């Protein structure tokens, strides 16, 4: 990769706390030194998604995303180029907004399937796996999908049993050993956050703030 950037991939199951950890880490770094890229913004259109045996769209598959485009965008950012991407709105009625993603010294990438695809995995200078118990992940998934996305509980539970957990076991866990750091995000993660902060400061020269208690 380009010598002026440091790419960090943060993978983990749905509800494990990837986004929370990435945002907390971003807040410890100077704004101009970091950018965040979400794998969610690379979902293919609904008409190109696979349906299960009951006719339900399965978004929890690597094939649901344009991972080649994600690879291309990360390479552009690493070379100092700005990337423009539509924000994925989870099929809600609102019009998706265009985002301007500017290159930065530290590029934080978070998503479910960062490890499964070798072309993507090979880009990262550091790979982090975030995990929590299945009970905690499900509780977080229910709260998020009902609050932020308006999904009925019945739909959330169906996706969890038929899509989310099978994908987690098949497409995430087998690649867990590729990661450099494992973070258990049950209720506290400030020590892991401090380790990540210190690692980035050491390898990039970016001066980070102290982590607050979580």
Paired residues of 110 in beta bridges:
10, 38
pLDDT tens digits for 61-72?
999 999 999 999
Residue 95 has pLDDT above 90, yes or no: no
pLDDT tens digits for 127-170?
999 999 999 999 999 998 887 777 899 999 999 999 999 999 99
pLDDT at position 1: 47
pTM of the full structure: 0.90
Mean pLDDT in residue range 89-95: 66
- What the block records as the tokens of 122 is 């090979």
Asked if 49 and 64 count as a contact pair (C-beta separation under 8 A), the reply is yes
Q: How confident is the model at residue 211 (pLDDT cuts 50, 70, 90)?
A: low
Structural domains in the chain, sorted by start: 6-202 (3.40.50.300)
Nearest alpha-carbon partner for 131 in 198, 95, 190, 182: 182
Burial of 16 from C-beta contacts in 10 A (0-12 / 13-18 / 19+)? buried
H helices of the chain, where?
18-27, 67-78, 118-121, 134-148, 153-159, 165-167, 190-204
pLDDT at position 92: 59
Mean pLDDT in residue range 67-81: 96
């Amino acid at each position: 990769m380009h010598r002026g950037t440091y790419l960090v991939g943060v993978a983990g199951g749905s509800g494990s706390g990837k986004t929370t950890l990435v945002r907390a880490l971003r807040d410890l770094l100077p704004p101009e030194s970091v950018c965040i890229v979400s794998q969610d913004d690379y979902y293919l259109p609904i008409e190109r998604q696979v349906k299960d045996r009951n006719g339900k769209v399965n978004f929890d598959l690597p094939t649901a995303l344009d991972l080649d485009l994600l690879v291309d965008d990360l390479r552009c950012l690493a070379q100092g180029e700005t990337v423009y991407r539509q924000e994925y709105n989870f099929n809600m009625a609102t019009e998706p907004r265009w985002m301007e993603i500017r290159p930065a010294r530290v590029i934080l990438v978070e998503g479910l399937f960062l490890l499964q695809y070798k072309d993507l995995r090979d880009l990262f200078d550091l790979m982090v796996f975030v995990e929590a118990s299945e009970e905690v992940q499900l509780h977080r998934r229910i709260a998020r999908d009902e609050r932020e996305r308006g999904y009925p509980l019945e739909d959330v539970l169906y996706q969890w049993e038929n899509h989310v957990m099978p994908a987690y076991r098949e497409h995430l866990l087998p690649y867990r050993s590729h990661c450099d750091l494992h973070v258990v995000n049950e209720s506290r993660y400030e020590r892991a956050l401090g380790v990540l902060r210190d690692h980035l400061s050491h390898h990039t020269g970016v001066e980070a703030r102290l982590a607050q208690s979580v």
